[in-house]
Amino acid sequence: MGTKDTETTSPDARADDNDTNDSRRSFLAKMSITVGVALGYGLLAAEGLLFVIPKKIKPPTIKIYAGRLKQFTLGGVRTLFDLNGREILVKRDDSGLTAFSSVCPHLGCTVHWEADKNRFFCPCHGGVFRPDGVAIAGPPADAGQRLSEFPIEVDKTSKVVYLEVKEPERGRS
């Protein structure tokens, strides 16, 4: 009969295997701890940075009824008011409706429409704006400014005009 080869391992060889396994476990444990700590501090740093850097938040808006399309005469400007009482100038031309703020971008004076000259005019400093709101004379033109616009929408079926304006300011206590 054949004899089986039996391997014998010495106690020293088993100790070497255990040392190798222990050093692997130790290495993996240290790596896991290091990665966990690095991820934790990284997340903390990212959250801290997001807290310090302000988000660009668009102010809440609301759509308001501005009238029916037939109420806006071609070539004319109609004055409306937002929910805070500020004037909005709505102009109708061949390309449609455009809504402008009546606040001059130069110093905040009130701009009005001069139909006979086909322009917006700020009497405080002689600011003149084209019908598309771009400044062409006075300090606003020197600064390359234009009138602020409001989003405007016309419902295709009902021909109702809506303006998108900032939500009203809440009362202060």
Q: Is the domain of 16 the same as that of 93?
A: no
Q: Is the pLDDT reported for residue 7 higher than 60? A: no
Instruction: Please report the pLDDT score of residue 58 as a whole number.
Output: 75
Domain residue limits at 53: 10-57
The 8-class DSSP code of residue 58 comes to: P
How would you classify the pairing of strands 87-93 and 77-81?
Answer: antiparallel
Residues 14 and 83 in one domain: no
Give the pLDDT confidence of 92-104 residue by residue, as tens digits: 888 888 899 888 8
Which token pair is 128?
């003149």
If one counts the domains in the chain, the total is: 2
**Average pLDDT of span 77-82:** 87
Report the pLDDT averaged over residues 58-79: 85
- A 10 A CB-CB count for 112 gives 15
The predicted structure's pLDDT at residue 10: 57
- Asked if residue 173 has pLDDT above 50, the reply is no
Give the pLDDT confidence score for residue 165 in this predicted structure.
Answer: 84
- Whether 133 is in a domain gets the answer yes
Do residues 37 and 71 share a domain?
A: no
> H-helix or E-strand containing 161?
strand 160-166
Co-location of 128 and 74 in the same domain: yes
**Higher per-residue confidence, 17 vs 30:** 30
Q: Is the pLDDT of residue 13 over 80?
A: no
Tell me the C-alpha distance between 39 and 15, whole Å: 36
pLDDT in tens, 28-43: 888 999 999 999 888 9
pTM here is: 0.61
Structure tokens at 51: 């807290």
Please choose, from the candidates 126, 124, 84, 118, the residue with its C-alpha nearest in 3D space to the C-alpha of residue 101.
84
CA 112 to chain centre: 30
CA 161, CA 169: separation in Å to the nearest integer? 23
